[in-house]
Structure 1
Amino acid sequence: MFTKQEMIDRAKAVMPGGVNSSIRNIEPFMMWKEGDGAYLWDWDGKKYVDYNGCWGPYILGYNSPVVKNAVIESIDRHDQYGVGVTELEIELAERICKHVPCADKALACSSGSEATYHAIRAARAFTGREKVIKFQGCFYGWHDYVLRNCYTPADMLYKRNPNSAGMFDAAVDATLVCRLNDLENVERTMNRNKGEVAALIVEPIAHNLGCVKLSDEFLKGLRRLCDEHGIVLIFDEVITGFRVGLGGYQGICGVIPDLTTMGKALGSGYPIAFIMGRDEIMNTFSTNSEGNVSFQGTTNGHPACVAAAIATIDFLEKEPVFDSIFELGDYFRKNMQWLFDQYEQGVSVIGYGSISVPIWAEGPFNNHEDILRGDAEKSIAFRKAMIERGHYWAPAEPKRLTISYAHKKEDIDSTLEAMEYVLKEEGNT
């Protein structure tokens, strides 16, 4: 049997960095063997209570029998055909249109980034405009339309900050950057670019920036401003969709966007995402014979992934998943905060529902500037210490801790015990 280091060496010999996504290449470099429920095992057989959940998809936990059995049944009957449609695809779109307030129609793709790309392209075609508004510090996908000012140092806030080499300059410069929870800033930007902005894209809870909650007044103000300026309002609910409720966060806050993108929890880990929204915008896609906005993808609506999503939604409809993960999330945050306060760490634990984020700074946290006040070095050191104790907190700042339906109170309690051990050890050094 190969050792862990030998496996890592094999990976790096044939894959740049040894991983298939840049965020996976963080220290300690993990070599996973298996996952089940709320747990992961590394190559050496060490067990972890996992709070990453593949950055959010596993709302039912790893290797969910409900999802697995549905996938097995689907691949016994179906493969991907490349033309026409299957009953599974229809059933899934019906469920989405039933639950999500903005969804008159819905289309499947394979990733959240694809969904946001399609949404922005459709908004540009629908409005005949080119510019897009996004928010400082927020990640809406890997494509050139929005990959600027995501991972931004303090001295580059709100400045021209593309986050990849090779980006198309025109796309970077057509993307305008605004401040979260600052409606006046958004309105000034719209007025300076009057008649030029096609879309405004926003996470209704900025989970890619830790967990910055957008006020109801701010979200309602965005809806009003987009209506006044003829701008397509896009909610990026790739994380919140089917994790905070069957209708996404829009079903909670009551603000209805024109388009929505969802993924992650929708497929319980299977590669599926959706764009959904108003009839008149969705009908511009070339899947409709009269549409002129290209929408293509050989694996869109793959039966295995669609079956996983149907099984997930069916389970969410019948079982008290949201009650459970919200209750555990509240319990986790309350007791984490108590521990940090007891040991005078100056940490603020923020979050919503099943997602929590400890920030090594005093709140409140309303935007990227506030998040940057956190001591990232202390945060990452603590996260690595938790990994040593068998509790996987992704060692990246300000990444979220995610609870699934497979987590039990006993798991949370064991994590709190490990936290206290780490805090005591820090106090003795």
Structure 2
Amino acid sequence: MLTAIPQKRPGPPLSAASSELGSVMRGNDGSVYICQANKNGVQSWKRADGEDVTHILSCEEEARERYYEIKAVGKGKAAPKTAKGAAKKASPEREIERERQPMPARKAPRKAAMKAPRKVAAAAAGRVSEGERPVCRGLKRNGDPCTQTKLNDAGLCRFHAGKGTPDTVSDTRLPVSFKDPYANANPEQAKELDGLYEYLSDHLRTAYDLDLPERADCPVECGLLDSKAGGIGFLHKNEGVPVCGECFSHMVLAVQINLAQLSEEVTDLLGLGEEGLLQLYICGANNCCANWDPFSSSELLRVVSPEHMRQHRQRAEIVAMYNTDVSPHTECAVQRIIKRPNDFPKGAELRELTRDKPTDIDEEYIWEESQGVLEGVQITIGGWFEWIQHVMYPHCPKCGERMTGTVLNIGSLMQTGLEWDDCGTAQIYQYQYQVLAMVHAGG
């Protein structure tokens, strides 16, 4: 039997007379020490630290049976229920084998099993090849692929999974505010407005104005797929800058609308889908006047599908494609959408519809009110067009029917440097959600 040696100075055991594996003795510091072997087979005394070790084991046989229990208590593990199991698990050979076995080798199969379904799903989506880690299917705001590797079962990172539309870049919807036509009207003007709206009740439409910042507040650049006027727009990785079919100069981006940024009521009005890009490119040469007519080869009006949006050129590539004769306009991002529920006809259309107007409605007031509505409006979705001169709706090239569906009314965008001749406007029409046409007229 081993007895305690009363000394205050801590240190290793004073006596190592019994140095067999599993031997137990108490050292100068009052701790229990157990003789064991390391991975090289060298025997050494190891301190058995454990809160439940309150007494000294009195014999080597008991120490051999309870060796694993002492070690388990110190690490917070469950002790074996039987002495036979304890002796088996506490054998030096088993401990040497456990120390020689690397930890990652025991955990690797479990990790592989956990990530296997995600890797298969990502490989099916075409975003990962054999031997690579799967990445998110979503896109960043600048158009680059997302690089996150912590994915859900759908192959999306936490950010794009919460957005719900991972295949578009700027899928954060633009804020919509309401413009009250009675906000600055006195009681007499409000009465006249009531009479005007009542008279034109069959012709009122809802319009959505895309608000652009002032020129001084325009950012240097925004996202490649953001809603904007001017600047650098989306181009597929296999296409170059569009070229005018009349003078063969490079085209520049006039307007780009990301449908995913619009509210549901606006996309329902357009009828072009909830995702994709509506783009208008025009000839960048100042002396080219071929874009007056609809379906002209000097303009490119298209809707880009979400599938094509995933593969695009980088901004620097597109800028390098332009020659010195033509350069893109200043880029100006859309800030918000302003809803106007009572938009009425303007210009020539207004005069045609008010020929039989009641005598209590002043024609001059109607004209001034229509001009006041247009003041500051630069890009409008829906509503009525602003006709500078005469009404000239285009006709569908397939069936010959008049295209009266309103998509966009674009004024002169001074922030970007884009001007339609002498303070003119441009209009984009649609027919049966299939055919798009653009016409512009000067003042």
TM range (shorter): under 0.3
Structure with higher Rg: it is 2
TM-score of the superposed pair, with normalisation by structure 2 = 0.22
If asked which structure has higher relative contact order (CA below 8 Å, sep 6+), I would say 1
More helix by percentage: 1
